[in-house]
Amino acid sequence: MKKLLLHTCCGPCLLSAQLALREKYHIIPFWYNPNIHPYREFKRRLNAFKEVVGENESIIDNTYDLKLYFNAVEWGDNRCEGCYRLRLSRSADIAREAGIDLFTTTLLISPYQDISLICDTGREEGIRAGVGFLCQDMREHYEEGHQMARDMGLYMQGYCGCVFSEEERYRKKK
């Protein structure tokens, strides 16, 4: 079975992606999310990732570097592109270093993310690093994976992770 490095944003989306990919790939989950704010949120999501992975093979880069993140994103409407690029660039590099020919991301699970932008960015970073990017729309597994997470009592976040998304979420509630 072909190895696939799976950049993972959170435990619930990892469960969803496993449903979509486990029949065709040997999945190696990869944690790299310097965008998540605040630090306690970062730790909660990392712990949920570890809970889903258990004793299985995974790669963790627990770098929490807000300066790196803020330098990567543009202020305004294009910030998601910079955030995607930061995480997918690191994922492509890790795949190459680990001898894994293909990578993808759990961001392709979410109905709230820009799938075409993620795929374009992933392909560009894959070409740069010399590895392939799997652009597979996995949104059909979103609800099932998230229900599994609820059944497990796994931490379920309410925003993508960045401070901008958190602000937008709470501003809407007012």
Find out whether 80 is annotated in a ligand binding site.
yes
Find out whether 135 is annotated in a ligand binding site.
no
Strand-pair category, 59-60 with 132-133? unpaired
Q: How far from 2 is each of 32, 88, 107, CA to CA, in Å?
A: 22, 20, 21
Find out whether 13 is annotated in a ligand binding site.
no
Residue among 85, 98, 102, 143 nearest 6 (CA): 102
Distance between CA atoms of residues 70 and 93, nearest Å: 20
Strand order through the sheet with 59-60: 59-60, 25-31, 2-8, 102-105, 132-133
Tell me the binding residues for [4Fe-4S] cluster.
9-10, 80, 83
- Binding site per annotation, positions: 9-10, 80, 83
